[in-house]
Chain A
Amino acid sequence: MTSTTARRRSVTVPWRAPLAAAVALAVAYFVILGGILADPSQHLTFGDAIPQAQAQFVNAVTIGAIYALIALGYTMVYGIIELINFAHGEIFMCGSFVSWWLLTTLGFSGAINDPLLLVGVLLLAFAVSMLVMGVVGVVIERLAYRRLRNAPRLAPLITAIGVSFILQNIVFVVVSNSIVTTPQIIPNTQLTLGPISINLINLFVIILAVSLMVALQLFIGRTRLGRAMRSTAIDRDAAQLMGVDINTTIALTFFVGSALAGAAGVVQGLYFGITVFNIGFQAGLKAFTAAVLGGIGNTTGAALGGFVIGFLEVISSVWGQGRWSEAVVFGVLVLVLVFRPTGILGQQLADRA
Chain B
Amino acid sequence: MPRVKVARKSTFIDMTAMCDVAFLLLTFFILTAKPKVDDPTKAEVPFSSKTKLVPEDNLAMITIGNVDGKDRIFYSVTGSDVRAATLKAMGDKYKIVFTPEEIAKFSLLEVFGVPIANLKQFLDLRPDERKGFPQPGIPTDTTATNELSNWIYLSRQADKGLHDKALDIAIKGDRKEQYPMINEVIGVLGHQKIFKFDLITDLRAAPKK
Do the two chains belong together in a single complex? no
